[in-house]
Structure 1
Amino acid sequence: MRRILLLIALLSCQLMASVQAAIIMVGTRVIYDESSREVTLRISNTGDSPVVIQSWLDTGDTRSSPDTSDAPFAVVPSVTKVLPKQGQSLRMVFTGDAGELPTDMESVFFLNVLEIPSIRSEQVDQNKLVLLTRHRVKVFYRPSGIAEQPSRALGRLSATRSRIGSNQTQILVRNPTPYHVSFRRAEVVAGEQSLDLGRGGMIEPFSSERWVLEGDVTGEPAELRMMVIDDHGGNRVQSVSL
C-alpha cells in the first residue's frame, strides 16, 4: 500500500488566507489580562471539508510542538474537528504561577493552531501531498499592576538618528513602556523624502533597538513614522521626532 506523504508547512499568521488554509481566526493577537479566568478565541472553517485542529502555546520557539509546549497555558479543546462552514471556540486558560512572570510589564507567548485537512477514504491508497498549515499568533499576558493605558504609552516612544559611514543611517528606538510595541512597517520621513525599513517587527518593553538603513534624508524636521498594531489588530500611525 502506498503511503500518503505528509509535508508540514509552518506558515505564519500572515499566510492564513492562502489557498491551502481553510481555518480563519478572529483577530491577529490575544490580550490575556491577569484578572481573566480564561480567554476565548473563535475560529471558523471556511472550506468545504472538515478539518482537525491541534492547538498549543510556546514561549517563542517556532519549532515547538504539543509535546514540547513550554508556556503556562492550556487550550481547551486541544484537539478538535471543525465541520465545513462552521466555527469552534478555543478557550485559553492560564495554568502557571502569576508570581513567576514580571509584574511590571507584559509577557509574550505564541498560540499555535495546526490545521490538518481531512482525507477521503478513496484517497488512502493514493500518493498525495497533504499540507498541514500552522497558524501562529501572539498572546500578550498583561499583569494587573500595569496602570498606564497602551494608547497613552505609545506617546512615550523616542528615537534618535545618526549617520554611519558615507551612506547609512542608524535609528535608535527606545521603548520605555511596559508594553510590547508591534508594528507592520516603519519609515524615516522628512518632507517629501522617506526611507523605508522594509519590514515589521516588535520592540520589547523597557528596551531599545538599533536599525541601520541605506541612505539618509536631508530635510528637517525628520521623524520616524510607524504603523503600530493596536490591541484589536488595527493600525495606528505613531510618529516620533528624530
Structure 2
Amino acid sequence: MTRMFRSLFLTLSVIATLSVIQPAMADIVLSGTRIVYKEAQKDTSIRLENKGSRPALVQNWLDDGDPNADPSTINVPFNATPPVSRIEAGRGQTVKLTYTGARVLPKDRESIYWFNVLEVPPKMKDADVKEKNILQLAFRTRIKMFYRPEGLDGTPSEAPKKLKWSMQQKSGKAVVHVINPTGYFVSFNKVEVTVGGRKHDVNSSMVAPKGETDFIISGLTSAPAKASIHYIAINDFGGAINGKVDI
C-alpha cells in the first residue's frame, strides 16, 4: 500500500509541475477553507466535489508543515480515508479524518497540520493529445487543519483582540511584532499599518498560540513612534474578523 501511495504521489507530482505552463482551474472543490478538529470528536470530515465534466483521480494526505514531503514518509497522528479515490463528474466524496493517538498533542494550545488534495484528470489517448495539442494538468490544494483541545480559555473569535502589537526595528527593517498569549492560532487575511495618513501593507500570515512573530512592513525602513494597525483575521468558517489597534 505504501509503495502504491508513493508511486501515485510521484507520478502526480511530476504532472503537477506542468501546471505552471498555462492557466487552468481545478475541478475538485473543497467544502471549506480550513478544518477544525475538536478533541471531543471521534473524527471529522471534509467534502470534495467534482465540479468538472470528467472523472478525477484524487489523493488525500496530511502533513505537519513541509509541503514538499513525500506522503509515504510523513509521520502524523491522523489518518485520511480514503487516501485515494476516483470522483465522477458532478459527484462527491467525503474524506474522514481520524486522530490515531500515535502522538500526544498539547492540551494548552491548538496544534496545526495541513490537509492536501492532489487531483489529476483521467489519461487521454495519445492521438487526442497530439491532435489537439492538449497538456494535462494535475492540481494540488492545501488547507490548514487545527486540532483544538478542550478547555482552552476564551474563544477563537476573541483571540485576535487579545494579541499584543508593537513596532520594532530589526535588521534594518520596520516590523510589526505580534505576541499571541492565547491557546488559538490566529490567521490573517490582511494587516495594514497607517503612519501619518499613509497606509503600508504588512507581510502577514499567522501567529501561533503562546507564540510571537514579526511581520515586515512594506515601504518603511524605520519603526514609527505612532501608528494605527488594521487587521482582518480569519475565523473558523473562513469569514472575516476586523480589528484596529493604535500604537
**TM (normalized to structure 1)?**
0.84
Match of 1:38 among 43, 54, 76: 43
Change (3 A) 1:139 1:164: closer
- Aligned residue runs from structure 1 range 149-160, under 5 A: 149-160=155-166
- Aligned residue runs from structure 1 range 122-161, under 5 A: 129-161=135-167
CA RMSD of aligned residues (A): 2.9
Letter in 1 for 2:162: R
Match of 1:58 among 49, 54, 63: 63
Contact 1:110 1:136 in 2 (8 A): yes
Letter in 2 for 1:151: S
Deviations 1:180-236 (A, max 9, x none): 111122111246321111x3411111111123333269795x222111111001121
Match of 1:117 among 116, 121, 142: 121
Q: Which has the higher helix share?
A: 2
1:196 aligns with 2:190: no
Change (3 A) 1:200 1:130: farther
Figure out how many residues of one structure are paired with residues of the other and give that number. 230
Contact 2:39 2:148 in 1 (8 A): yes
Aligned residues with identical type, % of pairs: 32
Contact 2:167 2:177 in 1 (8 A): yes
Partner of 2:214: 210
Unmatched 5+ residue regions in structure 1? none
Cα displacement (A) at 1:64: 2.1
Contact 2:204 2:215 in 1 (8 A): no
Partner of 2:78: 73
Contact 2:59 2:118 in 1 (8 A): yes
1:7 aligns with 2:15: yes
Contact 2:157 2:241 in 1 (8 A): no
Contact 1:9 1:134 in 2 (8 A): no
Distance 1:117 1:143 in 2: 38
Partner secondary structure for residue 137 of structure 2: strand
Match of 1:83 among 72, 80, 88: 88
Letter in 1 for 2:54: S
Q: Which has the higher strand share?
A: 1
Letter in 2 for 1:65: D
1:101 aligns with 2:109: no
